[in-house]
Amino acid sequence: MKKFLTILGFLTISIFSFGQVPTDQTYKMTRQDNFDWLKKVNALDNKSQFESIRQRLLINRKATTIDQNLDSPIFIVDGILITDTVNLKTQNFLINKLTFENTYIVILEQQTEEFIWCKPFTGVIAMRITDNKMRKEFKKIK
Per residue in 104-139, pLDDT (tens digit) is: 999 987 776 666 666 667 788 999 999 999 999 999
Residue 3 has pLDDT above 90, yes or no: no
pLDDT average, residue stretch 63-79: 77
pLDDT average, residue stretch 65-75: 74
Reported confidence tier of residue 19, pLDDT bands at 50, 70, 90: very low
Q: Which residue has the higher pLDDT, 90 or 86?
A: 90
SS3 (DSSP) at 132: helix
CA distance 139 to 46: 24
Are 35 and 123 a contacting pair, CB within 8 Å? yes
Q: What's the pLDDT score for residue 17? A: 41
H-run or E-run covering 125: strand 124-129
CA distance 49 to 21: 8
- Taking CB atoms within 8 Å and a gap of at least 24, the contacts of 1-9 are none
SS3 (DSSP) at 94: helix
Are 107 and 42 a contacting pair, CB within 8 Å? yes
Reported confidence tier of residue 40, pLDDT bands at 50, 70, 90: very high
The burial of 37, by beta-carbon neighbours within 10 Å (0-12 exposed, 13-18 middle, 19 or more buried), is given as buried
DSSP summary character for residue 20:
-
